[in-house]
Amino acid sequence: MPRREILQGNWIVAEAAIAAGCRFYAGYPITPSSELAARIAEKLPHMGGVFIQMEDEIASMGAIIGASCCGVKSMTATSGPGFSLKQENIGFAAMAEIPCVIVNVMRTGPSTGLPTRPSQGDVMQAKWGTHGDHPIIVLAPSFPREVYLSTIRAFNLSEKFRNPVIILLDEVLGHSFEVVDIPDSDEYEIMDRERPPRGSNEFNYYDREPGKPPVVPDFFTGYSVHIESLEHDDRGMPTNAAENVKKQQFLRLAKIEKNLDEILEWKEHYLDDAEIMIFAFGTSARASLEAIKELREEGIKIGLFQPITIWPFPERPLAKKLEKIKKVLVVEMNMGQIIYEVERTASDDVRIDGLFKVDGTSITPIEIINKVKELYL
Amino acid sequence: MNLSYEKLIRYEMYPVYWCPGCGIGVVFKSILISFDKLGWDPNEIAFISGIGCTSRMPGYLKANTIHTTHGRALTFATGIKLVKPDKKVVVVSGDGDALAIGGNHFLHACRRNIDIKLIIVNNGVYGMTGGQVSPTTPEGFFTETTPYGNIDPEFDTVKIAEAAGATYVARESVTRPFLLSKIIEKSLSHKGFAVVEVISNCHINLGRKNKMRNQLKMLKWIDERIVPLSKASSMTPEELKGKLVTGEFVNKQKPEYVEQYYTQIIGKVKELQAEFDL
Ligand SMILES: Cc1ncc(C[n+]2csc(CCOP(=O)(O)OP(=O)(O)O)c2C)c(N)n1
């Protein structure tokens, strides 16, 4: 039986993480993410899991990677400044292909910024925050139930593709108390990383078919496993032989690029007959949806493209929609970040405008309505 | 010759990364001997490091090993120990790795008294990056980044570890390999957070700039400064200036962090579950 509850967004993530099998959490308090840690600190011991408040965000990120090397599903949560601190070790997880989930409840930046105010300013940092070319998966849900299901999916995708997965919420989504229909466990799948048969011989675990993740043995299961922050060969050992570097870089990207069908998730609202498209995620998508409903009452054919996976960017599904719709308003709580991806995806005959806001308040439906009328009517 | 600890070595990784005559090799051998003497099953060992010359060690040990990011080895190790409380977790670190970039993690690992062993190879310099000043470079020494002499005071690893709450703290030198092996073996058998500082030589990157071009000169310089703890206790602060006191400084029992977590936190929850039929 699905449960109906009133929960804060941060709590929904905590609840879903536990349902997804998360048994290790390490974090450092920061507004507006702290309630997530509080909730999971209370719940994890009930499942035999471990919660630890580390000395900082760098330590928390290291600890969850360590736990994950032992095969335990692990998560951390933070906001802006803490997200910046985690970047180096997020890169480690991408390089060594260690599953883990990082939640970033975005606040207005840069620097300490506005701790209690929402933002969507970390879109680009989520993808490019750490150095080097590396794959990443970023989910940005909009509604309470979506937050729950995206958290489950974040663990599933991180396990399946052995990659860090980032969940982006914003202060409004993290802090709002809302009614949520918690899905029943038969409404979703739980995935675990592939494991080599116990006690089989040593093997080259970073060598695999393009499109597949490596099968790195868990610690203490009978293998001599070496995990590296340096570029490594098929066996996990450091090397800078050019041929090998090329191979490993390619394999890491290919495991994401070749599985877009499984990774990409998006929603289309009122787009079938639409002449104008709004492109928005997170709480901006919710405000947009409200605006669309009102505009539709006035007879304006407008709809919403709502990506849930924002990295990798849902290029193909968006491009398909843009074959018919030639006007797009990108709504985001930043100075214009995801709009670049929309521009990159669209052909020259598509008109693309932006509605951006960075004053620490969220975008309202009326602002969107006014902008649509100003630009297109 | 087939030595009994050879089974612990990843020979396919040889030759080693270190310069000829480097003290890190002595420390690695001491660690291998200790694992072997204690009969530790490599499958039960996690051997973790940060970044630096010392931190290359895990690549050569046939166990569960991670070469992490600079200064962060203790954080990875903490995650491992928390989810696998019955396994043996050992960290190796350089002085810059452990005390500069990783200084905060070092303090908090000491404070928690988590059952991790930390072996710091203190060569008084940033070896891997070519010999810049480190928190343990002696005052007045010339390095790449102190071309006019070092004015930064030296950290005393032992005092910091003790003050922060480590329950086993010792210092030894690569010039006394038998004592070193003994101390490492003892630290590994200790329950709680154990710190062993090993004074080592970097004749290439520190010695060359300070009139100690080869390892023998540098080892001699280290050895001449050593004062065993028993002797040091009757010496005045003036007499001890510039000396390196070696021996076992702390060896005590205190509740261990991970055990506390499993007995106190999870134990308490289980009691509550039983009481309220949760
Ligand atoms: C975040 C970061 N900063 C700087 C470096 C560059 N770096 C590599 S090793 C090292 C210092 C090594 O010195 P130490 O820890 O004393 O170890 P040693 O090489 O002497 O064994 C530095 C600064 C790095 N890899 N990562």
pLDDT in tens, B183-228: 999 999 999 999 999 999 999 999 999 999 999 999 999 999 999 9
Calculate helix-pair angle for B177-189, B24-38, nearest 10 degrees: 50
pLDDT bin (cut points 50, 70, 90) of residue A269 is: very high
* Least-confidence region, from A72-81, A123-132, A200-209, B157-166: A200-209
Element (H, E) at A77: strand A74-78
Instruction: State the pLDDT at residue A175.
Output: 97
d(CA B139, CA A341) in angstroms, rounded, equals 54
d(CA A19, CA B104) in angstroms, rounded, equals 33
Average pLDDT, chain A: 97
Q: Assess whether pLDDT exceeds 90 at residue A42.
A: yes
Strand, coil or helix: B119:
strand
φ, ψ (nearest 5 deg) of residue B166? -60, 140
DSSP B132: B
pLDDT bin (cut points 50, 70, 90) of residue A1 is: low
Q: Assess whether pLDDT exceeds 90 at residue B276.
A: no
What is the residue with the minimal CA distance to atom 10 of ligand 1? B52
Mean pLDDT on A210-224? 96
Q: Assess whether pLDDT exceeds 90 at residue B278.
A: no
Q: Is B95 in the pocket of ligand 1 (CB under 6 A)?
A: yes
Q: Which of A22, A23, A55, A201 to mutate to test the interface with B (most CBs of B within 10 A)?
A: A55
- Tell me if A255 sits within 8 A of A233, measured CB to CB: no
**Residue A8, token pair as written in the block:** 């804060």
Mean pLDDT on A71-77? 98
φ, ψ (nearest 5 deg) of residue A20? -75, -10
Whether residue A229 and residue B67 make contact (CB cut-off 8 A), yes or no, is yes
List all residues 6 or more positions away from A363 whose beta carbon is below 8 Å from its beta carbon: A283, A284, A287, A331, A333, A355, A357
Instruction: State the pLDDT at residue B277.
Output: 76
Whether residue B75 and residue A63 make contact (CB cut-off 8 A), yes or no, is yes
Mean pLDDT on B224-253? 95
List all residues 6 or more positions away from A84 whose beta carbon is below 8 Å from its beta carbon: A125, A129
DSSP B100: I
In chain A, residues with a C-beta closer than 8 Å to the C-beta of B67 are 226-230, 238
* Least-confidence region, from A204-208, B216-220, B256-260, B269-273: B269-273
Among residues A67, A72, A70, A25, which one has the least CA distance to residue A50? Answer: A25
Helices (H), chain B: 24-38, 73-83, 95-96, 103-112, 157-164, 177-189, 215-225, 229-232, 237-240, 257-260, 267-276
Strand, coil or helix: A138:
strand
Among B22, B51, B99, the mutation site with the greatest number of ligand 1 atoms within 8 A of its Cβ is B51
d(CA A288, CA B8) in angstroms, rounded, equals 61
Give the count of beta carbons closer than 10 Å to the beta carbon of residue A346.
21
* Cα(B51) to centroid(ligand 1), Å: 5
DSSP A4: E
Closest-CA residue of chain B to A93: B68
Instruction: State the pLDDT at residue B19.
Output: 97
Global pTM reads 0.97
- Tell me if A109 sits within 8 A of A96, measured CB to CB: no
